[in-house]
């Protein structure tokens, strides 16, 4: 959420849903679309709501308008009762992956528009109980997580490097890699200032989901800051260094000039990112309302292989914000210059906490590109999130086949524990700091270690599973003939290893296909790093007698 020095006393947090008159999406003084203040206050759109049907609606002959007369008696009755005046497609970009789009119902998702004064909540309740409706929900409003820019330029990027070492060890990490221009980070935010020197030659085509055009120019400032933290132009003798020097930026504007946005904009931007070549979707935004629409879009991007860092938000409490509270994202909190959970930030508030947090990163007084030119500092978990997004870009630059859960595991395992307040940052995972404060060098050292898992120099490849199996939700697969596996690198645990014989198109753990002996010549192993499973025997189904490699086993050939 954006604030300036006069609005710091007007903190607005969406804490519930309130009924009021319906209004249309408004426009700012610059003529750009914005979320009306009334919708911000009530926490959802007042002129429409979201409905997913069991079967898609027919489209008129011209391929445009959706008729209010559907030919489905119960649905038509609900449309008349609620006073629906128009129906349109739910998302402006539904995703090119037809199988995923159908599975998640994006081809059956619609916005049902109602007139001024309509009771949206009552309409949602009515449609939720109507035959042929999968779900109905408001189009919730969320906000960018950053706070007001400090008007005094902060002359150093302390989060990257400082004498006290309460930083992410970025210079040390850049000794390993400065990133690759083949890696694209989608920045889901207020857009970027294309005229700023930090973005010269740094962007790929994106989209403005607020104004529904191809010009995601920043009209607020939040997006320019976060994008520059992730991947500013570096080595040009000016400005700042981005976390991933050479990664490219895909600007997807889904927050308006007031730093607010409808979840449908967020969902559309996620499917766009997945379909247009992004490897990472950085989300410095959040709302307190859980949403099937948003979660399905997160699943779409996750299923497409995207890493999705998302900010914990800045309310200094344990209230879950979405999308960070979804298990598919990497939830990021913020720290201050003393390595403590930022509480307060420079403006007040504090980094949120909870059982869903993964890691923390510097988030207070973070220098970045300012809209309109120059530089300023911002404070919030919004600034911590693009550091994790940039780190994911560095990992994928080292190993383009790195899986999303592998990157989560590396980020967690490479983090430094017990650096914050002793009352909060306890040994191991805790709800305040997660698995610790990000350390880029330790993480990249571990990434190099995982990339070196091989036999006699044979390179490992990760196969795409056309038919997902249950293990795919918790593991990333590496195909190879493995004779020597290292479980640590630079003191960072790489995870327990499991070996499976390559004797089926889709290996499983339920049919006795585990192999504790070396395979026949020409046959490889699948190994599964145990990144996301609960500890203990049988944590990924069935007996683990011959599945978990024992600490003394040495390698998968035994």
Active site residues: 189, 222, 382
Angstrom distance (rounded) from CA 189 to CA 225: 10
Of 446, 547, 553, nearest to 493 (Cα)?
446
Angstrom distance (rounded) from CA 154 to CA 435: 28
Tokens of 308: 């999705």
In this structure, are residues 425 and 418 in contact, taking their beta carbons and an 8 Å threshold? yes
| CB burial of residue 316 (10 Å; 0-12, 13-18, 19+) | middle
Angstrom distance (rounded) from CA 528 to CA 190: 38
Please enumerate in sequence order all residues whose Cβ is within 8 A of that of 424, keeping only pairs 6 or more positions apart, or say none. Answer: 340, 341, 353, 430, 432, 433
Tokens of 104: 């998640």
Tokens of 132: 């042929």
Tokens of 390: 């940039």
Angstrom distance (rounded) from CA 291 to CA 308: 17
Please enumerate in sequence order all residues whose Cβ is within 8 A of that of 77, keeping only pairs 6 or more positions apart, or say none. Answer: 130
Angstrom distance (rounded) from CA 49 to CA 202: 37
Tokens of 190: 């207020």
3-state helix, strand, coil in the chain (%, to 5): 20, 20, 55
Query: Mind spelling out the 3-state secondary structure of 241-297?
Result: CCCCCCCEEEEEECCCCCCEEEHHHHHHHHHHHHHCCCCEEEECEEECCCCHHHHHH
Return the ∠ at Cα 300 (arms to 34 and 509), rounded to 5°: 155
In this structure, are residues 190 and 219 in contact, taking their beta carbons and an 8 Å threshold? yes
The residues with which 248 forms a beta bridge, in sequence order, are 184
Query: How many of the other CB atoms lie within 10 Å of CB of 422?
Result: 7
In this structure, are residues 378 and 366 in contact, taking their beta carbons and an 8 Å threshold? yes
């Amino acid at each position: 959420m954006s604030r300036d020095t006069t609005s710091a006393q007007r903190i607005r947090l969406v804490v519930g849903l309130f009924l009021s008159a319906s209004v249309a999406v408004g426009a700012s003084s610059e003529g750009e679309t914005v979320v009306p203040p009334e919708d911000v206050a009530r926490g959802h759109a007042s002129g429409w709501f979201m409905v997913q049907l069991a079967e898609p609606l027919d489209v008129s002959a011209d391929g445009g308008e959706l008729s209010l007369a559907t030919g489905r008696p119960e649905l038509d009755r609900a449309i008349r009762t609620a006073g629906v005046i128009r129906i349109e497609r739910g998302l402006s970009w539904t995703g090119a992956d037809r199988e995923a789009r159908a599975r998640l119902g994006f081809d059956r998702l619609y916005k049902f528009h109602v007139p001024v004064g309509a009771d949206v909540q009552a309409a949602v309740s009515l449609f939720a109980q109507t035959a042929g409706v999968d779900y109905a929900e408001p189009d919730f409003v969320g906000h960018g997580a950053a706070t007001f820019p400090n008007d005094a330029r902060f002359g150093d990027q302390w989060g990257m490097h400082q004498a006290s070492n309460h930083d992410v060890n970025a210079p040390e990490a850049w000794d390993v890699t400065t990133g690759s221009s083949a890696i694209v980070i989608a920045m889901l935010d207020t857009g970027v200032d294309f005229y700023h020197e930090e973005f010269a030659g740094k962007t790929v085509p994106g989209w403005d989901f607020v104004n529904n055009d191809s010009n995601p120019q920043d009209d607020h400032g939040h997006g320019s800051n976060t994008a520059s933290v992730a991947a500013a132009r570096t080595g040009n003798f000016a400005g700042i260094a981005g976390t991933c020097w050479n990664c490219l930026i895909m600007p997807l504007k889904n927050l308006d000039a007031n730093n607010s946005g409808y979840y449908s904009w967020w969902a559309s931007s996620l499917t766009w990112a997945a379909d247009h070549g992004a490897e990472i979707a950085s989300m410095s935004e959040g709302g307190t309302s859980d949403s099937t629409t948003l979660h399905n879009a997160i699943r779409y991007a996750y299923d497409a292989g995207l890493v999705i860092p998302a900010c914990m938000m800045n309310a200094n409490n344990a209230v879950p914000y979405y999308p960070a509270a979804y298990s598919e994202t990497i939830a990021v909190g913020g720290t201050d210059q003393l390595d403590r959970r930022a509480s307060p930030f420079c403006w007040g508030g504090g980094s949120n906490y909870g059982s869903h947090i993964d890691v923390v990163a510097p988030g207070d007084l973070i220098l970045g590109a300012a809209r309109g030119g120059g530089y300023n500092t911002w404070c919030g978990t919004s600034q911590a999130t693009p550091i994790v997004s940039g780190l994911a870009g560095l990992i994928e630059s080292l190993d383009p086949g790195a899986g999303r859960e592998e990157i989560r595991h590396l980020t967690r395992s490479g983090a430094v524990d017990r650096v914050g307040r002793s009352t909060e940052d306890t040994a191991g995972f805790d709800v305040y700091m997660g698995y610790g404060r990000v350390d880029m060098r330790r993480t990249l050292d571990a990434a190099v270690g995982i990339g070196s898992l091989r036999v006699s120099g044979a390179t490992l490849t990760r196969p795409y599973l056309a038919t997902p199996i249950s293990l795919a939700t918790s593991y990333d697969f590496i195909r190879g003939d493995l004779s020597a596996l290292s479980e640590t690198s630079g003191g960072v645990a790489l995870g327990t290893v499991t070996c499976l014989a390559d004797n089926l198109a889709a290996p499983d753990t339920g049919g006795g296909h585990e192999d504790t002996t070396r395979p026949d010549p020409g046959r490889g192993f699948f190994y599964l790093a145990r990144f996301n499973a609960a500890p203990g025997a049988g944590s990924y189904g069935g007996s683990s007698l011959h599945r978990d490699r024992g600490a003394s086993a040495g390698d998968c050939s035994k």
